[in-house]
A and B are shown apart, each in its own frame.
Chain A
Amino acid sequence: MTTTAQPRVPTDTSRVGDPALSPAGRRARRTAGRRRFGAVVVLMGPFFVLLTTVFLIPVGTAVYLSFYSDDQPGLGFGPENTVFVGLRSYAAVLSDPTFLGGLGTVALYCLIYIPLMVVGALVLALLLDSGVVRLRAVAQLGLFLPHAVPGLIAALIWLYLYTPGISPIIDLFARADITIDFLGIHAVIPSIVNIALWSNLGYNMVVFYAALQAVPREVIEASVVDGAGPVRTALQVKTPLVRASIVMVAIFTLIWALQLFTEPMLLSQSSPMISSRFSPSMYIYDAAFTRNNYSLAAAASVVLLVCTITLSYGVTRFTSRADAEEAR
């Protein structure tokens, strides 16, 4: 008896006011609303906490730092005061040929890397999807594995393969009487692109492959019935259908590429062609930690952030406009 009675107790008490009319009903609705609000807080809370602590506060700090500086007038040997300096740090960053050079380097890097990455990953995914490849699982795993290697380790491995004197690859080339300097002045950006491709190709291929799996089989069957060969099916049926993934991969790759840091930082140990301000991220690191110029580093960070946001927005706008035109 007691066992059945007990659960009824709370139900009963909660129902006490239930039959009553409007005030109680409002209260019930309010509890439901509160409960829903609670759920929202619990579910969204972690996101906003993280957004605030790891994004908004650092960005806010960078913006603040870029407008203030510990100044001493004249030669700089007097006492320091923190003063508002307006756009001075931005003027310094944008008039610094080494920073602009870094932006140029990254632009060149993006121009080589992003098309190679998107096309390469897409081709691999289409090959896997077409069923041409035997041992699909093994191929997928093999392509994806490099992504599991941390960037730093990857750069170390490639550093070994690129360094004259210890690299077996350069040795092999040398035996064939080909001198190749992977860290030389012309090869250094392609060498970095190669590391990035090796690390990320498999990952992006998996993204494309997953998107291709979602392409309705009827559509493909229809195209086959209509007489399209495998190449035509891949290029004109499947590819347009995974367009959204292509845009997404392109944007992620772009954002990642603009922050180029680990690979050149490590390779700079071995190649004088990679300067300490090779990319904007390295410039920021150098400004903050060798030059102790936090305002300058902050201003450079904000400039890089603005570039990244503008470019990502540009890519989205461009593709959505293209979509709209296509729909028309």
Chain B
Amino acid sequence: MPGRPDRRSVLAAMAAVPLTGAVGACSGGNGASSAGTGRTTRITFWSALRGSQEVVDAFNRTHKSVQVDFQQIPSGGQGGYAKLSNAARAGNAPDVATIEYPQVPGFAIDGVARDITDLVSDSLRRKLLPQALAQTTFDQRVFSVPLDVEPMVMHYRTDLFDRYGLQVARTWDEFAEQARAVRRKAADRRLALFPTDGMTQFAAYAWQAGAQWFDTSKGAWNVSLADAPSRRVAEYWQRLIDRDDVFVNAVESRQSDAQIGNGLVLTRLSGAWDAGAQMNARPGQKGQWRIAPLPQWDAGSPAVGTHGGSTFAITKDSRRPEAAMEFIEWQVSHPDSLRARLSSGTSSQYPAALDLVSVGRKAFDRSYYGGQDIYGLYEQEAEKIGEGWLWGPRMSATQRVMQDSFARVGGGQGSLTESLRTAQEGTMPDLKALGLSTTQRST
């Protein structure tokens, strides 16, 4: 039963990949940093990212003083996060755990992810994209290390764009016009899908528009899910939904698979990682897809939000945080780690470590995208990622309430703006019950 799997988890699982055959290539001299201590430190690592076993094998092969025991766990929404919290409650959480961006504040507040500010070396700090590190830093303290950062982009069917005479939309207004044109020209096709299970997609739109759902600058959690930019986005998509210019259904569903597989939907608005997931899922559509920047609200001052991405945290139960950090640093910043991931041909992860972008550019097989330099595009888009966005303390709950309400909109009940308010109302009692200081200023 496919059910309603967590979008972020799936994308995370897609983003990381088996690196079969690549392990041999990882025989760099990176063992040097850990050589010489003589004793072997064993650490444990949990991840739902597919291919983590191979990454771990490569690490173990090249390191002597630190050895990693890996355990594959279910993705977050499928029980992985519950497993991690329960293990932490029982006092036996792994040394290193994988946490997606939206869940970082929650695990930090619960004390599962430990404060690793002092463990993150200056050199690592310099390597990471500042907007990515800002997502894992709260109260000036770092709680996890970003692996990848995924600017939202527009994946589009170049063949169908040509057939209907469409140019890539630069603004959302153009996009809306095209949506109407597509429906007029082909009644069974739509330009895009509004995903009813897509809080993370909606967040990326809102982020791009300048929304700030959560803000901690005044010493309290300010929650404003229905701020002006978010309402603008909600009203925009509501119009498209009301005019029947977009599909409205879950993206993690057979229905959506069919829409993409049968060429009924002309674009996919999702993170950079989705390029690899698409290659893996639909090899038959090779050459039909290209990638473009997301349409803008104001073409003069472009902005973009992120959609997806994972981080690595060291848990409170770790007794070897230094060794754990060595492993994390290698995973997020060593070229072999990324090279291995990409060589499988199913990942298009955009690394949070800037040095690795050129590695990715070289290692990525461009044939599926007709030779397009997608890493070049990603690099350009990553620079536009808006600053100041924060995720909230109970994102899984906020997400569920919002998506439950989106689903009702899909069934013709309520509106997207109301969904934002519902999500706000469903989030506040939680935060209050946790004893957090909260405010609800709207911008």
Q: Chain A: residues with CB nearer than 8 A to chain B?
A: 69, 71-77, 79-80, 83, 85, 88-89, 91-93, 95-99, 184-185, 269-270, 272-273, 275-277, 286-287, 289-293, 295-296, 299
Contacts and interface: CB of A to CB of B under 8 A. Distances in A.
A75 B401 contact: no
B38 interface: no
Contacts of B283: none
Top 8 A-B pairs, shortest CB-CB distance? A272-B407, A275-B404, A71-B435, A96-B429, A92-B433, A76-B109, A92-B429, A296-B433
Interface stretch (B45-53, B153-161, B214-222): B214-222
A85 B435 CA distance: 8
A291 B82 contact: no
Contacts of B90: none
Interface of B: 1, 3-4, 81-82, 85, 106, 108-111, 115, 138-139, 141, 143, 196-197, 216, 219-221, 250, 393-394, 396-397, 400-401, 403-404, 407-408, 410-413, 422, 425-426, 428-430, 432-437
A93 B429 contact: yes
Contact of B82 (A79, A97, A269, A289): A289
Nearest to A95: B429
A290 B426 contact: no
Contacts, number: 123
A72 B413 contact: no
Q: Which has the most chain B C-beta neighbours within 10 Å: A71, A96, A269?
A: A96
A273 B412 CA distance: 11
Contact of A293 (B216, B250, B413, B433): B433
A128 B430 CA distance: 52
A292 B106 contact: yes
Given A88-B433, A89-B433, A295-B433, A77 B413 contact: no
A90 to B, nearest CB: 9
Q: Name which of A76, A98, A270 has the most chain B CB atoms within 10 A of its CB.
A: A76
6 contacts: A74-B219, A76-B393, A79-B111, A98-B425, A272-B250, A291-B397
Given A96-B426, A185-B413, A291-B430, A269 B435 contact: no
Contact of A296 (B3, B220, B411, B429): B429
A40 to B, nearest CB: 40
B430 A75 contact: no
Contact of B139 (A77, A184, A269, A291): A77
A83 B82 CA distance: 24
B110 A292 contact: yes
B345 to A, nearest CB: 32
A328 B289 CA distance: 84
Contacts of A97: 422, 425-426
B432 A91 contact: yes
A65 B413 CA distance: 37
A75 B438 CA distance: 8
Nearest to A298: B433
Contacts of B412: 185
Considering residues A74, A289, A296, which has the most beta carbons from chain B within 10 angstroms of its beta carbon? A74
A184 B413 CA distance: 11
B434 A76 contact: yes
A273 B82 contact: no
A272 B4 contact: yes
A2 to B, nearest CB: 64
A282 to B, nearest CB: 11
